[in-house]
Amino acid sequence: MNYKESDKVIDVAEEITNDVEKLNKITYRFSKIGSKPQMQKTVVFEELKKVTDYFERRLPQTGKSVELIIEGDKEVCAEMNPELFEWVIENLIKNALDAIEEKTGTIRIGVSEVKKNVNIEITDSGKGIDLKRRKDVFRPGYSTKRRGWGLGLSLAKRIVEGYHGGKIYVKSSIHGEGTTFTILLKKC
Ligand SMILES: Nc1ncnc2c1ncn2[C@@H]1O[C@H](COP(=O)(O)OP(=O)(O)O)[C@@H](O)[C@H]1O
Ligand SMILES: [Mg+2]
């Protein structure tokens, strides 16, 4: 209450509330692994927006100036467990941020309808993935990071393919230019 800039105190307090919600979410997610998650019809764009909004707030703390863009079909809907889907997208965005070694960069998420599927593409302007490694990246324990666990993408694969009957793969990658991951989910 004595703090000179009371607005900032309120901001921080709100952010703490967000953090607590976030921790709840993480607990919930772990409780869902191994059990049958509930599926619901979800507007994909809106779900993605929730994740990017979260990152937008946190980006300033990374010291990088990365532009996060979502574009495409705002209506298309997929049968999904939103909590687990958010987890997948978070992992992909985190990896994209790690891959961007320069001070500035872009992460672009595109949503479209392709036949019976919703196609989600996540493209970063990062350092790229060696073509020979594009399957290995989904292997549990595979990491090229000094402090990496190598679990993010294996979890993403399990969620997308195991729980949702979808597909996730490296669509393309160019050394020094960037990478695109594709996720396919069944349209509702
Ligand atoms: N967008 C990306 N650009 C470049 N390399 C990536 C990207 N996403 C994943 N990778 C590679 O795949 C590896 C595995 O990723 P992940 O399973 O999330 O584990 P971790 O992030 O802990 O290393 C990373 O260490 C990295 O080498
Ligand atoms: Mg990761």
Question: What is the CATH classification number for the domain harbouring 59?
Answer: 3.30.565.10
> Would you state the pLDDT for residue 1?
57
pLDDT in tens, 116-153: 999 999 999 999 999 899 999 999 999 999 999 999 99
Determine which residue's CA is closest to atom 24 belonging to ligand 1.
143
Say yes or no: CB of residue 179 within 6 Å of ligand 1.
yes
Structural domains in the chain (count): 1
Mean pLDDT in residue range 3-16: 80
From the CA of 157, the nearest ligand is 1
Which of 150, 103, 154, 149 lies closest to 125 in space, CA to CA?
A: 103
88 close to 125: Cβ distance less than 8 angstroms: no
Residue 123 placed within a domain: yes
Query: Which of 127, 153, 177 to mutate for ligand 1's pocket (most ligand atoms within 8 Å of CB)?
Result: 153
pLDDT in tens, 40-82: 999 999 999 999 999 998 888 888 899 999 999 999 999 999 9
Q: Report how far ligand 1's centroid is from the alpha carbon of 1 (Å).
A: 43
* Strands in 35-166 per DSSP E: 40-43, 65-72, 77-80, 104-114, 117-124
Residue 25 placed within a domain: no
Domain span at residue 58 reads 33-186
Structure token digits, residue 178 = 């960037």
Q: 121, exposed or middle or buried, with CB in 10 Å at 0-12, 13-18, 19+?
A: middle
Spatial distance between the Cα atoms of 79 and 143, rounded to a whole number of angstroms: 31
pLDDT in tens, 75-105: 999 999 999 999 999 999 999 999 999 999 9
Residue 113 placed within a domain: yes
DSSP one-letter code for 150: S
From the CA of 149, the nearest ligand is 1
Q: Report how far ligand 1's centroid is from the alpha carbon of 180 (Å).
A: 12
pLDDT in tens, 152-182: 999 999 999 999 999 999 999 999 999 999 9
Indicate the pTM of the whole model. Answer: 0.89
